[in-house]
Every structure is written in C-alpha cells, then in structure tokens.
Structure 1
C-alpha cells in the first residue's frame, strides 16, 4: 500500500518528532490510546492502571509484546523509553510533570511533582511512544517500536519504507509492505491518487474533491479536534493593546474562510473547542462595541486613511506556512481586510512554524493550526498554549490569573468540575482575545475503493494500522 501524507519529517525519533510520524506510520505505540468518539482513554501497551494517591500512579505493562528486534517489552524497557522521552523533549517534560519512575517487575510506579489527574491522558501523547532505546539502530532513522510495521528504510523529507511485524502482539497485520510518502503539495498528492500511484492520500486538494468522487474514488470527511487560529504575539507593542486585538478579531470573516477557502469543509470557530465538546462554553452573542473609542484610549488614531500610533502607521508581520495550503490563503484574506481599516500587514512564509515562532520574536501574528483536545480533555491545549511553561505558548502569555486557573484545573480530578473550569478558562481567553479562533477544518482523506480498514480519526494520531488492506 502507498500512503501519501501532507507533512514531511527529517527524523523518525518519536521522542522529538513534532510531526508524530512514527506513531502515525504504525511503527510505535503508546501506553494509552484515545477513543476519539467518546473522548476517553484506554490502555494500549499498558494493560491497566491505578492511582495509588494524588501524586502516584501504578501502570501495569501488557505481557507478550515484542519489539521489532524480538526483545520482549517489560517494565524496565518502558521506563528507559519514558526517561529518554522526558530527557529529549522539554515540552513533554513540562506536560508530564514526572518526578520519578520506578520499574517493579511487570509494573511502573510513576510519581508526579504535583497532583496531576491527567497524567494517563498525557501518556497518549505520540512523543511518549515506547521504543527499545538499547537497540543498535539509529533512533532517528529506524526506531525499534512495537507497532504493526517496522522501518526498512527512511529517506528524510521523502518517504519511509515499512514491512509487516510478523510477531505483532495484537493480531497479524494485513499488509506486507507500506510506502509512507511525504508531499506538502496538495496538487501533487491528488495527482498521485488519480494516476493510481497512491492508494490513500491525506488531505487532497480541496478544489478537486468533487472530481475525485466523480472518478469513483472515495473521500472520507471527518470533524476533527483541530482549530485554525490566529496566534497573537503579546510581546509586541501593538498586540499588547486589547483594543488592537479586538479590532483584528473583528475583521476576520469566518464564513468567507469556510465557503471561499475551504469550500465548506469547515465550520466557523468561536473558541478553541468544538461546540460539541462537554467543556466548550456557550459564548454570549456579540455585543455592539465601539472599538474606535477603545483604540483612541490606547493612543491610536486615523490619519489619511491609515491607523497610526505616535504618528507612525501600524504595520504588522504575519507568519504563515505552506504545509497547510489553506493557511496562506487565510493570511491573504486577513491582510486584505486589515488594509480596509488602514493597517498594513506583511506576510512572511516560514517552513517550520513551531521552531520559528519559538525562537524568533519579530512577528505580530501567525496563522497556526492546532489540535485542541487530542488526549480527550481540554487541559492539554490550555496548558500548552496559555501556561507560561507551555510548549506551544508562542503568544508569550504571562497572565497570573490565567495561570492560576490552569494550575487549579491541573489538580482537579472530578470530570464535571474539570469541564466547568475549562469552560471558565476558555471564556477568560475569549474576553481578552488571547488569540483569534478562525475555523474548525474537517479532515479529508481520499482513497481507492479497494482499500479496506481505513478510519479517519479525529485525533489524527492513528493512520497505518494492522487492519488496513488493499484488495
């Protein structure tokens, strides 16, 4: 089978790769897995778990599981892998809050630095994938996991060649081999399917979906946990103005993004979470607000059709990237609408958004796409995006009240209480316009009609599975 994916990677190190390719390609697995229909987490490489006290968890490891090199999975191997993931990944270290891991026969005893009821949910994270860290293979080229397929060769930025893991613990995988190709050009991905070269294409060209279906190909569409957002760099002068942030947010024509850019394969976003989530707030209706008065209070004024401050025209830098081809189009729409109110926006294309936004702080806005509940809970997104220690806090948010709210959420166990607290935090973010939320895009996957076993997951984590086959 030939699978074409829309992101590329230069490394298969599952503890560092932000594209999560080893998990998506069926090479690695995690201790726990997400059921994205119920937003619940269940054991995967773990067989069960228990919370010993508010900071201690015991996780029992599944028996009769082997790595690709034939070594049996045991608690010590899991400990070595988790220790390495925490050492290699600062963001993961912050997310897991692990103080110590002790291996005891067939189980692990994990102690966290603070009460942390969401530890098990966070162990769904692809960067916690379990590998044999003692293997001779170079981890960034051929990680030795427990998944249904193992790597035979890897061409960075191009493709992975996979073969069936005959001793796979969860039943015989149905494919002999898989070619997992990277291609960031939606037109090329679509052509690969229409020409017969590919069997499955992730995110085909939106404009070609009707044509693909007319060709007899299948297009599977799924609502996802994803939101396209406009990230605001609060370290920049103009973005520190609440009035300016409200103005930018008010300019965004979400319906035009849905219909004109995404051809209807999306829904307008009010906040980061889908309205169907139990922790999504019922946002109040928009109230008429005189943003002009607020801007004037912050020192802004209109001069000859330009919005100025201290005599200088407002000029903003907006980052975007091609790997999600709708984002540059959204950036251009925002640029055009901002021009109508006298704001000049310069668009800069970047290759690796996470790396650039974290290391370079000379930008004001960025189109970005993020999974907001990939572990079945809103806490992941809130911690990653709005906590000072968050790995995705590209806005540079340091809001004491917001941090305290997130910290209290992190120590709350009761599900109903967590949902209520998550709602409150989302409302707080909305009131202060800490980022603008644009649309919830659907995930579209095109495939041949002889493919069986494909499931378009909302989490976007599980792609090449043991159940995939080509008839």
Structure 2
C-alpha cells in the first residue's frame, strides 16, 4: 500500500534546521529544557510568525484567551471600555515592569503598538488604529471604523508589549513576562531566566532552554534519551513507543487548527472552480487521519471545528467525483493523462517539513492524483508565509493555520480571505465575501456574528477558494516524573509560564 511506503520515508522528508537541546549538566536551581518544532532567526515579537517570545514567557499581550471559557480576558490591561466599538479606553495594569526595570504605562503601550503597526502590515490591517492617546495608565484608542472585535485582536502575539527604546529588538526584546532573555542563538535555541519582579508572581523555574528542531523524529529521540524534558509535536509514528517509556506522558489535545490545501487562484488552471472542486474531491481525509495522524485528528470539510457554533456542515464528495468535476472544466483522460486542448494538467504543490505530517499529506495527494492522470510536482519550502507571500509560481500548498484561536471566526476570515489579509495566499478577491467579512467586523451581537461567519464559510466552500483536510490534535510529550504543571493549550499560545515547574530530585 502506498501509505506504508510514505510513512517509512518520513525521515527523508523532515527538515533538520536547528539543533536538539540538551539538559544543562550543572545548572543551578530548577532548569527545564523544552524542544519546539519551529525555528526562528528573530525574536522581534511584532513580526515573528512562530510567536516564540510569547511562547517562551518573555512577552505578554494586553489581552489573553481564557482557554476554559473561550473568552477574551485582560492580561497587561486591567480593564477596558468601548461600547460604540470604535472608541476604546484601556486601563493598563499598575505595578508591571519591563525586564529592564522600567514601569509599564500607557505611553509605553502606545509606543509598542505603534511599532507593531509600523513593522507589520498584518497587525496594521488587524487593529485598524486611527489614533492613540496616553495619559498615565489610561490608553485611549480610536479605530478607523466601528470594530467590535478590536479587543480580541489584542490577544495576537504580534501585538505583544515590549520596551521599544531598547536597541536590539530582533535579538534581545525586553518584555514583561515571567522570564527574561539571557541568550539567543538564531535558528538553534534561546535561554531564559526567571524575572524576579514579575507582576503575577515569580516563576517557579529558575531557567528554561527553549530550543528548536524541525525534525519530528529527532525531537522524539531527544525525549527518549533524556536530553529534554518536554517535546512539542513528537513524531506521531513513535507515540506508542513513547507511551511505553517509563514516566513519559503523551498529551493529545484538540485545537482550533486546520490543515488545508491552499489554492493559488491566480494560476490559470486554478481559476476554474471545477478544477478546484476536483482537487478537493481527490483528498481522502479519513485515510489521511487514520494512517498519517493515527487518529489524532478529525476530518475537515470547512475551516472550523464542528463543535464551534459557526461551523457549517457539508456533504463530502468522493474521489470518484474528481473526474466528473474535471470533465465539467473541459478535461478528459487520454492515454492515461488528464488533459485539456492537448495540454496535460500538471500542478506544483508546496509543502514544508516543520509540520511532519504535511509532506506526507502532499505525497498521498500526489499518488491519488496520478491515478487519474494528473502530474503533481512537490516542492519543499522553508518558511511558507515568506514563500507563498512573495511568489506565485505554485498551484497548491499544504498549509496549517489556526482558524479560531480566540473562539471567534473573525481572525481567520480577515487574515485569509480579505484582500488585505496577511495570510491571503490564494490571492482571493471576492467582493461578496469581502462584504460579508466587513459586516462581520462591524457586528457586535454574537448570534449575528455566528450567522455571518457561517455565511463566509459557505462562500469559501461553494467557490472552493481553499480545501480543508483535517483538524489535527496538538501532541506534547514530556517527562512526567520530572515536569509539573504543564498545560497543552487549545490556542497554542501559552507554553512557558510562571506556574511551570520541575520536581526536586
């Protein structure tokens, strides 16, 4: 069976960027070693797409997601008001200091948000800030238009508050979190140590090594060998062997993430909706979930988890429908080749190894497409956001995205389908869809927001702007004999916290 061969070849597809962390042999106090699956060469929180500064406990945002209630709650902010959805008053928490000892006030927050808007077009489009005024601990913000979900956008790790007067933000950002940066080796690891004056209670740990390795098998081996304490997204095929290891805990938690097949609608072949529908029909979601993810996922038809109130349901096409859709687009199979006007249907599919299951999904699709005469060339890329945002020489891409990290659809719909969206890699410019999203941005009532979100998802499905494969679980493995208070969050934002601890020897 083709999938057996694909799984056996997984190691050939995983990237080896970064280096496996090792526990410090002579570290004073409580030390923990954490191994993450995405490497970063910059710790600038306003542009880092891996969100490492927040995940490593260096930075914090004004607002935070309550993981249990799926609501937004103040964090560096103490409270807020904004009844008209356009004029906001944010009360900055008192008694908070940056790691350099400077006090956090409204002026510092204003300067940090101003820099975030300047450095990131995605943040600028998301926040829609027209004007900010700071007075003591009070920050007043006016948006360019009524925008009821403005406060939820302040959960975004790229809006993290830092002291922007510091010189080297890329390598040494100064935040307010429970840990301050002690060293950074780009692409390899960072070391953080407890910030003793942390406003919410000093961390239980003295220091943490936050290292990167994009090779899932290497991450698994690092935990098995005792080199690290916690591994984020170990190799799925190794989960049973990990569970058999003495003391190892494997935690699998559903999240708001979706693995999708992004369609480049600016490519000539991809402009035909029936071609896109044919591609969608080719995806055998259940087999991918069962064989590649080993059941640690659920098939996806739309972008949102079925449990969310704005997640519509659709009847799924079977692989046998793919040829029918392509026939509507004018294609026929001649000599075993799917073609139109004598031109074979040949597609370039992007994938990346930091999420080890995506290259395998790409290979499964390539194999299934070949059965009906479609040639699929798989191209490995490093940073998908950079490549897809700057190049249009591809047709499809396996991509993974958080679709409702704050329990609301606004983030994903704006980022992925609005013409100004930072993650609009399909190049979609659909006036009707944009109108729905714009109305959603102005709407306060939650029932109405759910209706609009569902309408937007319906439009995406009906026009097959992107195709959705599965909702993966987040899997974390750790040394349960040593690690205390680890929490695998749905949002994937909060990792190294002041409560995280290790047991005394």
Q: TM-score under structure 2 normalisation?
A: 0.91
SS of the aligned residue for 2:82 comes to strand
Consecutive unaligned residues in structure 1, runs of 5 or more: none
Q: Which residue of 2 aligns with 1:320?
A: 351
In structure 2, relative to structure 1, the CA distance for the partners of 1:451 and 1:291 (3 Å cut) is closer
Distance 1:37 1:247 in 2: 39
Q: Which residue of 1 aligns with 2:475?
A: 444
- Which residue, out of 453, 457, 460, partners 2:489? 457
Q: Which residue of 2 aligns with 1:223?
A: 254
Alignment of structure 1 residues 151-170 onto 2, 5 Å: 151-170=181-200
Say whether residues 1:88 and 2:119 are aligned partners.
yes
How big is each residue's C-alpha offset from its partner over 1:95-139, in whole Å with a ceiling of 9 and x where there is no partner?
111111111221111111111011000000000000011124x11
Q: Which residue of 1 aligns with 2:159?
A: 128
Q: 1:293 Cα deviation (Å)?
A: 5.4
- Which residue, out of 94, 103, 108, partners 1:63? 94
How big is each residue's C-alpha offset from its partner over 1:156-184, in whole Å with a ceiling of 9 and x where there is no partner?
00000100000000012000010000111
Q: 1:54 Cα deviation (Å)?
A: 3.2
Q: Which residue of 2 aligns with 1:33?
A: 64
Q: Is the 8 A contact 2:353 2:359 kept in 1?
A: yes
Q: Is the 8 A contact 2:281 2:318 kept in 1?
A: no
How big is each residue's C-alpha offset from its partner over 1:293-319, in whole Å with a ceiling of 9 and x where there is no partner?
553443322211211112110100000
- Which residue, out of 208, 221, 244, partners 2:275? 244
Q: Which residue of 2 aligns with 1:188?
A: 218
In structure 2, relative to structure 1, the CA distance for the partners of 1:256 and 1:293 (3 Å cut) is closer
Distance 1:416 1:297 in 2: 38
Distance 1:277 1:164 in 2: 37
Q: Which residue of 1 aligns with 2:36?
A: 5
Say whether residues 1:142 and 2:172 are aligned partners.
yes
Say whether residues 1:114 and 2:145 are aligned partners.
yes
Q: 1:292 Cα deviation (Å)?
A: 4.8
Q: 1:283 Cα deviation (Å)?
A: 2.8
Q: 1:375 Cα deviation (Å)?
A: 2.3
How big is each residue's C-alpha offset from its partner over 1:166-221, in whole Å with a ceiling of 9 and x where there is no partner?
00000120000100001111111111111111011101111111111111200111
Say whether residues 1:467 and 2:495 are aligned partners.
no
Q: Is the 8 A contact 2:278 2:321 kept in 1?
A: no
Q: Is the 8 A contact 1:327 1:367 kept in 2?
A: yes
Q: Which residue of 2 aligns with 1:428?
A: 459
Say whether residues 1:407 and 2:409 are aligned partners.
no
What do you get for the CA RMSD once the two structures are aligned?
1.4
How big is each residue's C-alpha offset from its partner over 1:388-435, in whole Å with a ceiling of 9 and x where there is no partner?
010000000011111111111111010111011101111111111111
In structure 2, relative to structure 1, the CA distance for the partners of 1:2 and 1:290 (3 Å cut) is closer
Distance 2:203 2:331 in 1: 63
In structure 2, relative to structure 1, the CA distance for the partners of 1:326 and 1:292 (3 Å cut) is closer
In structure 2, relative to structure 1, the CA distance for the partners of 1:445 and 1:163 (3 Å cut) is same
SS of the aligned residue for 2:107 comes to helix
- Which residue, out of 204, 218, 242, partners 1:212? 242
SS of the aligned residue for 2:429 comes to coil
Distance 2:359 2:321 in 1: 30
Alignment of structure 1 residues 387-406 onto 2, 5 Å: 387-406=418-437
Distance 1:383 1:240 in 2: 22
In structure 2, relative to structure 1, the CA distance for the partners of 1:158 and 1:294 (3 Å cut) is closer
SS of the aligned residue for 1:227 comes to strand
Q: Is the 8 A contact 1:283 1:427 kept in 2?
A: no
Say whether residues 1:371 and 2:398 are aligned partners.
no
Consecutive unaligned residues in structure 2, runs of 5 or more: 1-31
- Which residue, out of 312, 335, 339, partners 1:281? 312
- Which residue, out of 177, 182, 185, partners 2:207? 177
Q: Which residue of 2 aligns with 1:345?
A: 376
Q: 1:376 Cα deviation (Å)?
A: 2.2
**Between 210-219 and 349-358, the greater mean CA deviation after superposition:** 210-219
How big is each residue's C-alpha offset from its partner over 1:221-253, in whole Å with a ceiling of 9 and x where there is no partner?
100110000000000011111111111111101
Q: 1:287 Cα deviation (Å)?
A: 9.5
SS of the aligned residue for 1:53 comes to coil
Q: 1:288 Cα deviation (Å)?
A: 11
In structure 2, relative to structure 1, the CA distance for the partners of 1:52 and 1:266 (3 Å cut) is closer
Distance 2:262 2:122 in 1: 19
In structure 2, relative to structure 1, the CA distance for the partners of 1:290 and 1:140 (3 Å cut) is closer
Q: Which residue of 1 aligns with 2:77?
A: 46
Q: 1:36 Cα deviation (Å)?
A: 2.7
Say whether residues 1:265 and 2:292 are aligned partners.
no
In structure 2, relative to structure 1, the CA distance for the partners of 1:165 and 1:340 (3 Å cut) is same
SS of the aligned residue for 2:451 comes to helix
